[in-house]
Structure formats: C-alpha cells, structure tokens
Amino acid sequence: MNAQSAQPVSMSEKDLNHPRSLTAFRSMKILIIGYFGLSLLTLVAIVLLRNHTGMVNQAVWVRGTIVAATSLLMLSFAVRAARGSRKGFLRVRITSAAMVVAIVVIIALPGTFPVWLKIEQAVCGLVLIGVVVVVNGKHLRSLFAAN
C-alpha cells in the first residue's frame, strides 16, 4: 500500500515565519475567508429566494453549491499551504485560477444565470483575483520552489 504522509513538506520554520511569508499567507487566508463568507451568504440567499423561479433556477442551485464547496476546499488548501505544504500551495494556485476562469464564463453566458448571481460572482472573481496575485507572487513561488 502506498500511503502518503499528511505531514507538510519539510520547510524551515524560518522561511514559513519570515515576515513576507506571514503577510502573504495572512492575505491569502483573509481573501479566501471572504470568498467563503460570500459563498455562504449566496447559499442563504438561494434558500430564501427558492420560491422565486425568476431569481433562483436549477443552474443557480448547482453553481451556488459548487462555489460553497470549492471555497471550503480552498480554505483548507490555504491552511495547509501556510503550514508548508507544497500540495496545498499548488492546489490553492490551481483552484483560484480555475475559479476565476469559471466566473468569467458564468458572467459571459447569456440568460442562464440571473443578474444578481452574476454580480455576486463578479465580486467573488475580484476576491479570487487577489488570491491569484498573492499565490503567484515572487516570494511564495520562490518559497515553495526552494524546497
């Protein structure tokens, strides 16, 4: 059996606790917590508006659920990355970029999603662009590439 360790990749405490690292990890986590909060508020809105078919259709239910799930996953990836996990860091990079692309598609699709959800997705997209900028910054990339 080929079990992988749940332990983070060995990275020096000095590197993880460097002021630039701490600032980058803090920024990344705050942005992702904001994304998570927005996604939960959206799910609440979907539930509250469920009887208004013009505002909540099947696509809105599916998208809202996917966004909430990915935001929770991204938060767990960010926590792992801040502890030195290369896989966690890579997953945050991939998921944040993929979600930005998905959001652009959602906003561009005519008629499938109501305007209120497109606006919410645009706000989520702006938050995720912040995550993309932070995780693709020179310091974090070099920190995870060095080990």
On whether residue 4 sits in a domain, the answer given is no
On whether residue 1 sits in a domain, the answer given is no
Q: What is the pTM of this model?
A: 0.84
**Token duo for residue 70:** 């990915």
- Domain span at residue 31? 14-145
On whether residue 44 sits in a domain, the answer given is yes
On whether residue 33 sits in a domain, the answer given is yes
Dist CA 121 CA 44 (whole Å): 15
Other Cβ atoms less than 10 A from the Cβ of 23: the count is 12
**Token duo for residue 19:** 């002021």
Report angle CA 88, 94, 99 to the nearest 5 degrees: 120
Dist CA 58 CA 48 (whole Å): 15
On whether residue 134 sits in a domain, the answer given is yes
Q: What is the domain count for the chain?
A: 1
pLDDT at residue 145, as a whole number: 82
On whether residue 37 sits in a domain, the answer given is yes
Dist CA 52 CA 89 (whole Å): 40
Q: What is the pLDDT of residues 14-46, one digit of tens each?
A: 767 778 878 999 999 999 999 999 999 999 999
**Token duo for residue 34:** 């904001």
Report angle CA 78, 103, 47 to the nearest 5 degrees: 85
Q: Indicate if the pLDDT at residue 68 is higher than 60.
A: yes
On whether residue 7 sits in a domain, the answer given is no
On whether residue 26 sits in a domain, the answer given is yes
pLDDT at residue 116, as a whole number: 94
